[in-house]
Amino acid sequence: MAYQVIARKWRPQTFEEVTGQEAVTRTLRNAIEHERLHHAYLFSGARGVGKTTTARLLAKAVNCHRSAAPTPTPCRTDDPEQCPSCREISEGRSIDVLEIDAASNTGVGNVRDTIIDTIGVRAARDRYKVFIIDEVHMLSIPAFNALLKTLEEPPPRVLFIMATTESHKLPDTILSRCQQFEFRTIAAPKIAARLRYIADEEKIKVSDDALREIARAGEGSMRDAQSAFDQVISFSEGAIETADVEAALGLASVELRARVMRAVVEGAPSEALAVVDDLVMRGHDLRNFCRDLLAHVRDLLVVKVAGDSTAFADSTDAERGELKHEAREFSESDLVRFFHSLTETEKHLRESAHPRYQLEIGLVKLIEMRRLVPLGQLFERLNALEEALRTGKTPAVSSSAQTPPTSSAAPSGSSSRRGSDAASGSKGAASVGDAAHHDRAPARVENTEEHATKSQDERGGATLPPPPVFKSPDATATSATPTPSTQAAQRPPSSSSIPAATLKLVPPPPVPPPTSVAGAGVATQLAPTPASEVPFPVGNNGGPKGSFDSAEPSSFFEEVRAGEDRAGRRVPVSAPPQSPASATASSTPAPGMFDAPIRPHVEPGDTVGLIKRTLDERNKPLLAVTLDGARRVSVEGDELCVEFAPEGKHMRDTLSKPENMRVLREACCEVLGREMGVRINTRTQGESEDDSTRQDDARREQQRLRELAEGHPLVQQVLKTFRGEIIEVQPLNARGPQP
């Protein structure tokens, strides 16, 4: 006897042997037992999941001669005493059970000759006349229409069983006349169990891991898995191991997938490229490897989300342990991004002329994805900073908002450098004020060799200037010579020990303008800085808060306090000299002194300046800037005349917008107390006013004619028909261009 492949030899002989379709087989068994058979069934699902097998079992069940009625247990093929009907149906030569391939009989003529003309003839021997139409979605629309009436009201003892992999291509009129059964893809453990049964019956030695790899290669199809098993049997010599399966089917090993994920964790693109090179040298299908990697990322995500649950991952306990250990290196969002990126790579591999290059770029992209910061963390950090500026409280640094390790070195180094630069700048500015007014200055800065500290930049290795040392004005003179104990108490904390989110760089104190110059301008006397204008926060005791004599941080890293140095507040830069008494009295700022808006100075009688200031007050600074860019702005009677140069056409167009013209007229009415018009023109240098007026009139006439033409129904119809546009409009009495 000729060799018969495993997929045909071990085709299920009973409903119980159909693997992974328990809901379908149970429904059909109950319908047969209770004689509630429908006249049309539609089996849909993926390839190799048992659609045609179930259709043949149903045909055998309704026509088996061993029972007087349809039975859910028809004769088996290997039974020597099977009835003639079951044998003929299994061999595909029954005259009462017709199997029609719709892929090769698509026309309405085929349907008429095979089904419609023969359906009226009763079954020759069996109880039912059964039509099994495989790949029914390949029928043409006329063929479906010809089948509608017969399918809706067939003669007695006629049964239609249709199978398809694409049920969405069937007309709704066909679907509504059938009972529909959806065949699901089969789980890998069930396929492996069926393969183990076949291997034991065939006396084939194969390991469980090898069967598991074969089941995964089937991708939910029992027929594909059995064909792959047949191929591995022919390849191997003796016992079948996992290496034989990988070599025979061209599958990438678990070790290669693990190497790729380790390269992603370690940020080693060279290792990922080496894996691709290994795959190419072995002759593996790169698209299959990408699919396997997709499944691996999916398993990592399932283990990460479901934990110890065994209902979500098709793997053994040992493999699940390895997956859990590997999943600790990634977050759920990382794995989701990896999955979407690999899906895109697999789609490009399908159409790419150079699949190796596509896969290499896709794997490098996975490694680069780990350096990205999620948008949620960025928004959280921005919200924390906004809240700190609004309330004055120090933002709390949460562990979820930390920057990834791969990018944390650069910000810390740059912030340290900025802090040192700000500190050195503040020291220089404060030293000038102390030289003139030591007794009134709120803080004094010393920079001596004993107090100087050096820090090394992390990236460049450059030596940064030493941070300044602050002392309170009431410090005794003996503190000028520090002792080792006082040095330790006064030394400022290093920037690396203070979280970056809790630091505030305080600007240097302003330098007041000079009040007198001696000789050739070498000696300069500076005015004292009032306490209310000092940018350093002042404590309750009158001394500068944050000096290094106390346990608090330096005032260069002062925490943000409510009501101090808030964004948008106007802090005066300098003030005239005051006496000590007035300086003390002015230490408390007047209510609202920081909230008063700054308005431009307008000379008395400057009508145009008043109009500009009114536009600023109406939150229309762009219109005020546009008036500033005009060549001439004047009030002539009841009109505001605005003249632009030809190069200021964009400003003229901005001012000519209806909304801006309305705001400008309202501003003129508010300033002058009467209704005003606005006249805008463009004039070149040396052009007379009459010429400009004529040009404006011609432009307005051209605009009027254009609007008239655009609103004409006939013109609109022509433009719509020919998809044209209006280039130029001329009056009827005007002569057109000469040829």
Q: Verify that 214 and 320 share a domain, yes or no.
A: no
Q: Verify that 283 and 238 share a domain, yes or no.
A: no
Q: Which pLDDT score is estimated for 418?
A: 38
Least confident of 75-89, 159-173, 259-273, 676-690: 676-690
The CATH number linked to 660 is 3.30.300.180
Q: Is residue 61 part of a domain?
A: yes
The CATH number linked to 243 is 1.10.8.60
Distance CA 644, CA 291 (A): 67
Q: Which pLDDT score is estimated for 719?
A: 86
Banded pLDDT at 739 (limits 50, 70, 90): very low
Given a cut of 60, whether residue 404 has pLDDT beyond it is no
Distance CA 730, CA 49 (A): 76
Banded pLDDT at 376 (limits 50, 70, 90): confident
Q: Verify that 39 and 171 share a domain, yes or no.
A: yes
Q: Given its phi and psi angles, is residue 548 left (phi above 0), alpha (psi -120 to 50 degrees) or beta?
A: alpha
Distance CA 727, CA 737 (A): 14
* Number of alpha helices (DSSP H) and beta strands (DSSP E) in the chain: 27, 14
Q: Is residue 362 part of a domain?
A: yes
Residue for token pair 């306490």: 531
Range of the domain at 341: 254-369
Given a cut of 90, whether residue 583 has pLDDT beyond it is no
Q: Which of 207, 223, 249 is the last residue of a domain?
A: 249
Beta bridge partners of 524: 517
Banded pLDDT at 682 (limits 50, 70, 90): confident
What type of residue sits at position 381?
R
Q: Verify that 52 and 165 share a domain, yes or no.
A: yes
Q: Verify that 170 and 40 share a domain, yes or no.
A: yes
Least confident of 215-219, 304-308, 633-637: 304-308
524 compared with 5, residue with greater pLDDT: 5
Helix locations, 44-187, DSSP H: 51-63, 84-91, 108-111, 141-152, 172-175
Highest mean pLDDT pick, 52-61, 323-332, 343-352, 430-439? 52-61
Q: Verify that 652 and 630 share a domain, yes or no.
A: yes
Distance CA 468, CA 165 (A): 79
**The tokens of 290 are what?**
């990408």
Q: Which pLDDT score is estimated for 33?
A: 92
Given a cut of 70, whether residue 62 has pLDDT beyond it is yes
Q: Which of 249, 272, 289 is the last residue of a domain?
A: 249
What type of residue sits at position 667?
A
State which H helix or E strand residue 161 sits in.
strand 158-164
Q: Which pLDDT score is estimated for 233?
A: 92
Q: Verify that 220 and 295 share a domain, yes or no.
A: no
Distance CA 612, CA 664 (A): 9
Q: Is residue 703 part of a domain?
A: no
Q: Which pLDDT score is estimated for 431?
A: 37
The CATH number linked to 87 is 3.40.50.300
Q: Verify that 227 and 302 share a domain, yes or no.
A: no
Given a cut of 80, whether residue 709 has pLDDT beyond it is yes
Q: Is residue 361 part of a domain?
A: yes
pLDDT digits (tens, 9 = 90+) for 339-374: 999 999 999 998 888 999 999 999 999 998 877 777
Banded pLDDT at 588 (limits 50, 70, 90): very low
Average pLDDT over the chain reads 74
**The tokens of 403 are what?**
């920057």
Average pLDDT over residues 557-581: 44
pLDDT digits (tens, 9 = 90+) for 531-544: 444 444 444 444 44
Given a cut of 50, whether residue 444 has pLDDT beyond it is no
Is the pTM higher than 0.75? no
The CATH number linked to 263 is 1.20.272.10
With a pLDDT cut of 90, the percent of the chain lying above it is 28
pLDDT digits (tens, 9 = 90+) for 405-435: 443 333 333 333 334 443 344 344 333 334 3
Banded pLDDT at 310 (limits 50, 70, 90): low
Q: Is 327 helix (H, G, I), strand (E, B) or coil?
A: helix
Pairing of strands 523-526, 514-518: antiparallel
Residue 286: closest CA among 361, 207, 218: 361
Q: Is residue 566 part of a domain?
A: no
CB 488 within 8 A of CB 511: no
Q: Verify that 232 and 324 share a domain, yes or no.
A: no
Q: Which pLDDT score is estimated for 197?
A: 93
State which H helix or E strand residue 264 sits in.
helix 254-266
Highest mean pLDDT pick, 328-332, 361-365, 552-556, 722-726? 361-365
Non-local CB neighbours of 608 within 8 Å, separated by 6+ positions: 627, 633, 634, 635
Q: Verify that 280 and 145 share a domain, yes or no.
A: no
How many domains does the structure of the chain reveal?
4
Q: Which of 198, 215, 249 is the last residue of a domain?
A: 249
Half-sphere exposure of 144 (CA within 13 A, CB side): 17
Q: Verify that 143 and 242 share a domain, yes or no.
A: no
